[in-house]
Structure 1
Amino acid sequence: MSALILPAPGGGTFEYTPRAEPSVPATGAGSPLVSRTVFSAAHVVADPYADISPDSAAAVDWDATLAFRRHLWSHGLGVAEAMDTAQRGMGLDWAGAAELIRRSAAEARSQGGAIACGVGTDQLPPGEHDLAAVTAAYEEQLALVEASGAQAVLMASRALAAAAEGPEDYLATYDHLLRQASEPVILHWLGPMFDPALEGYWGSDDLDTATETFLEVIAARPDKVDGIKVSLLDAGREKALRRRLPDGVRCYTGDDFHYPELIAGDEHGFSHALLGIFDPLGPLAAEAVRVLDKGDTAGFRGLLDPTVELSRHLFEPPTRFYKTGVVLLAWLAGHQSHFTMVGGLQSARSLPHLARAYQLADQVGLFPDPARAASRMRTLLDVYGVAR
């Protein structure tokens, strides 16, 4: 395969020769995942032919979006729907998210796939809202998710972060919502590196204090909490937190920097997974968990550890724009026919960033067809005017 001329992060260019063969299965196969519950937070595929403006509602290619979810289910992964990976609050409004939830939940039923869907408050208009309005918004979304037959993920709310005056407001709001839930939910703690509007969530900028409030929410109604998703990019904090969870409450890691060690676990326990990086890593992640199912922790780490450099690159600051790299890799891997994103976010990362994402993904054998991935990357380089 001929070399590509890639832009270097510090300026200039260099030659890169793509690998010839993939290292991941192209189609789903093997036994169901047993030792860990694993959700991939999936992206949405934009409709590149929609004649829209930056002020328009998101135009989604529903066929391609659902096809990508079938791809994840085929490998034995669950789908975490309408989360931040799907550009929730960054191009996808509540109307679009609601349609995504309804369509994906119906598809999950037809495929026999696991699905959990985000419940938030993003239907509220910009501006200040009182706690009653925030709670009502949560209830509306919770009702839709439960009516669809999906598991609910109670997401962190920008509106609640703005309205709450202290920990007691979080305790009251979440206690009310857990009483309303008909089935156990997943609680999501999303750090400000993913969304700056969530600074001080749980009523404090001090993470130790915030953790105590979070644990108090869970302890009040453990029967209504299936698990927690922690997205703080702090492995030590997650390990300490999961050791304090009530029996039966799972920890789903959302740490895209330390996921191999957190899923593998230690003598005190392990984390399950609900991860944005498992969108591009889906087949490889599923294969790794099957190796772990056999008790081969070293084999599991051998498969996933080499992917951490790619994940850290995609999620580098400003972390909230990691979706751009995720969609780039989906295009290069052949899961969609274009590199277009809802809200035009394909422009949110630089060409050197995208080129490095391609290189790291190719080096771990992530692309089912490396030649196609190289051809598409060459097309992108041409658009940017990189000389061959």
Structure 2
Amino acid sequence: MARHLLWLLPIVALAACGSRAGGAGAPSSPALPPTVSAPATLLPDGTVPWVDEPAGEREFSLPPPARRVDPNAKPCLAGDLRGELTQWTAPGNSGEPGVPQREPPKLIGYARVANTGQQTCRLHGEVDTRLRDRTGELKIGYSRNVNDEAEQRVTIVPPGESADLRLDWSAPFCAPHDGSLELEITLPENGGKLRAPITATSVPPCGRPSETHPEITSFLASSVFDEPSRETAMDSPLAALTATIEPVPTAKPGDLVTFHVRLTNPTAAAIPLDPGPGYLQERFSQGTAELRAINDSGLYRLNCRPVRSIPAHGTIRFAMGVHIPTELTADRALTVTWRLTAPKLASGPWANLTLTAA
């Protein structure tokens, strides 16, 4: 998870919806941010007020499986690995027949790298990744999207096992390319360069006449290697909720903008907010030849002090806040993606808000 976007407020003893505070005498977890001060009241129009309350990195995740550990593992070498990227997905697009699909601002893919050698090895540190065709490196922007937790992660890869590398590829992709694409992955700890073919055929849309905004370019952002995800049964009742965002057309760079998310329960039974969920808030803006793309996120606790459930066939309106990056120049668009998150919630209700810098 990326670094938090907003600052913590003062510490108090009041427990909030979404906190994981223990009972009397229970030791507190040093990994979780403190609960902040906020009254359990609604605004005059019935809206749930926004509370700036960042959550812990894994506060709303299931306990992670034990990671592989091998203190004797040496850095992985390109000659002992085989990689491939088989699929790109668009955030929020289900791919289901009959469901309208949105033109994606970016694609997300995972390059899977298998250890074909005879020794267990490790992958630890930032990864520089480039796109290539048969003529060489594509002329797009490249960046790395790595937070503190990811920088410290050590991924052990025994022989025959794999590791995944997340890649975010943003629109507009208007660069010419010749033939099939592949990744050139510079492995951490001087492990060499690994070529990984891309068998997926999707690419981000061009989405604009190149002569209109020639300064706008596509970016490929790489994370760090991690163990492949493992399937877990998901059965949260929150999956039935839908989310919509009320539009906010413009914003000034550096401003804290208030927007509103409506959570709607289409079912015939109330859906509890206890234990309280959180939400992931992502900020994205296309980069240019001179400016890097904005591509970050933060995890927060939902303020459900005044409400403990979403009523049957009802809607609750939540106020939210987002800081507009100071580098968002005039007429540059910022997409804010909001998604509910909770343990055993595989794909929470989500919605997008697009703002244009004034």
- Please, what TM-score do these two structures have when normalized by structure 2? 0.25
More strand per residue: 1 or 2? Answer: 2
More helix per residue: 1 or 2? Answer: 1
User: Which has the higher Rg, Structure 1 or Structure 2?
Assistant: 2
- Please, what TM-score do these two structures have when normalized by structure 1? 0.23
